[in-house]
Amino acid sequence: MRERLRVAMVGNGFMGAAHSQGWRVAPRFFDLPLLPSMDVLVGRNPAGVAASAEKWGWRESSVDWREVVERDDIDVVDIVTPGDTHAEIAIAALEAGKHVLCEKPLANSSAEAETMTRVAEAAAARGIRSMLGFTYRRVPATAFARQLIAEGRIGDVRQVRASYLQDWLVDPASPMTWRLQKDRAGSGALGDIGAHAVDLAEYMTGLRLGRVSGVLATFVRQRPIAGSSSGGIAAAASDAPPAEYGEVTVDDVALFRGRFESGALGTFEASRMATGRKNALRVEVSGSLGAIAFDLEDLNSLELYDATEPAGEQGFKKIIVTEPEHPWVSAWWPAGHMLGYEHGFAHQARDFVEAIATGEAPRPSFADGLHVQRVLDAVEHSSEGDGAWVEVAGGAD
C-alpha cells in the first residue's frame, strides 16, 4: 500500500476542472511513489463547490480555505484561484507545512512574487516543496524540443519568435469578467497568456530574457456587466445600450521584443483580439545549424529544420512526438495515438508527486515564476515609457 498524499484544491473554475483531471488520472497511468487523493475542494459558493466536488471526484467541499490549510489531514494545497489571492493562500499554506502547487502567473506583482519566493525557499529548507503551474512545459513536444536544443541540434540560438493568440474579446459586447480587472488579474493578455509565451520560450531554449521593449493596448475600455445585456456584436451596435458597463483596466494586446542574456533576440505577442484564433500558442527558435518550432494547435508534433543536410534535401520536417522514447509518453497509448490538452496536467501532477517523494526541487519553481513576473513588469514599464528598453530586474540571479 502506497502512502496517501492528501490534496486540497482552492478554486473550482476552468483550471479547477483541468487540475482535477490531472490529480485523478496521474496515479492510474503512472507508478507514483505516493498516492494522491482528492480530499477537499474549496470554493466560494457552497452549492456550486459541492456540485463541482461531486462532478470531479473530490471527497468533500468547503468554503473556508483558511480552515482547510490548517487541517492536519491535508498534505498538498493546489491553488487555481485568480491572481490576487495567490500570495495570501500560498504563503499561509507553506507556513502551515503544506506542499503548494500554484497556477500561473505566480502573483499580480513582482513584490508579491518576491515575498512568495522567499517563503517558498524557507519552506524548502524544512522539506516543503512548491511548484508553479506553467503546464505547457509538460507537453511532450515542448520537452522534446528543449532536449534537442540542449543537445545542440540547431546550434547557437539566435532568434526566438513566440506568440499566443486568442479572440474571445473581439466582440465589444462580451461581458466583464475578473480577467479584465487589474486588481484581480494583475494584467490582461500580457499576464494571462503572454506569461506562457515567455516561460515556454525560455524553457525550450534554456535562455533568460535580460531586457525588453514593448507596448500594451486596450481596444475596448468598457464592457457590459454580465446579465445587463443580451450581448453580441449586433446588440452592441443597436440603439439599446446595456444597462451597466464595467471599466476594463487591463490590456487586450501586448507586443514586445526582448534580448536574452546570451545576446539572442526575441519577439513576443499576446493578444485576445486576434480574430479567428482560439488558443494559438507558437514558439519558433532559429539557430546557427537549424530551427525548431512548436504549435499548440498541433501539440503532438514538432517542426525541425536541419541546415547541415545537403541543400537539395533541406526543409522543415514534422516529428510526431508520440513514441515511448519521448517525455512521459510511455505511460500512455501506442505510438501514433495522440495526447491532448488535459494530459499536461497529469504530467504536472506526476512530476510534483515525485519531487515531494524524492525531496528534489520541482520546476518551474516560485523563483522561475518571479523571473517571469519581472519580465511582465518590465514590459509594462516599457509601454508606459513609449517603448523604451527596460532591464529585467534580478539579472542572472
2 pLDDT tier (thresholds 50, 70, 90): confident
Q: Report the share of the chain in percent with pLDDT over 90.
A: 94
The neighbouring-strand residues paired with 260 are 209
pLDDT of the residue at 118: 98
**Which of 160-164, 243-247, 297-301, 336-340 is predicted with the least confidence, judged by mean pLDDT?**
243-247
Task: Calculate the CA dihedral of residues 151, 292, 264, 262 and round it to 10 degrees.
Answer: -20
Q: What is the mean pLDDT of residues 86-110?
A: 97
Is residue 341 within 8 A of residue 78, CB to CB? The reply is no
CA 290 → CA 142, 199, 202, 219, 286, distances in Å?
17, 22, 18, 38, 6
Residues near 63 by beta carbon (within 8 Å), at least 6 away in sequence: 42, 43, 44, 45, 46, 49
CA dist., res. 148 & res. 166, Å (int): 29
pLDDT tens digits, residue range 114-166? 999 999 999 999 999 999 999 999 999 999 999 999 999 999 999 999 999 99
1 pLDDT tier (thresholds 50, 70, 90): confident
What phi-psi label fits residue 44: left (phi over 0), alpha (psi between -120 and 50 degrees) or beta? alpha
Domains of the chain: 4-136 (3.40.50.720), 139-337+363-368+370-391 (3.30.360.10)
Q: What is the mean pLDDT of residues 348-374?
A: 98
pLDDT tens digits, residue range 46-84? 999 999 999 999 999 999 999 999 999 999 999 999 999
Q: What is the mean pLDDT of residues 358-386?
A: 97
CA dist., res. 57 & res. 20, Å (int): 8
pLDDT of the residue at 40: 98
- Omega cis (within 30) before 364: yes
pLDDT tens digits, residue range 223-276? 999 876 544 544 444 555 546 999 999 999 999 999 999 999 999 999 999 999
Residue 290, pLDDT above cutoff 80: yes
pLDDT of the residue at 243: 64
pLDDT of the residue at 227: 74
Q: What is the mean pLDDT of residues 277-292?
A: 98
Q: pTM here?
A: 0.94
pLDDT of the residue at 229: 53
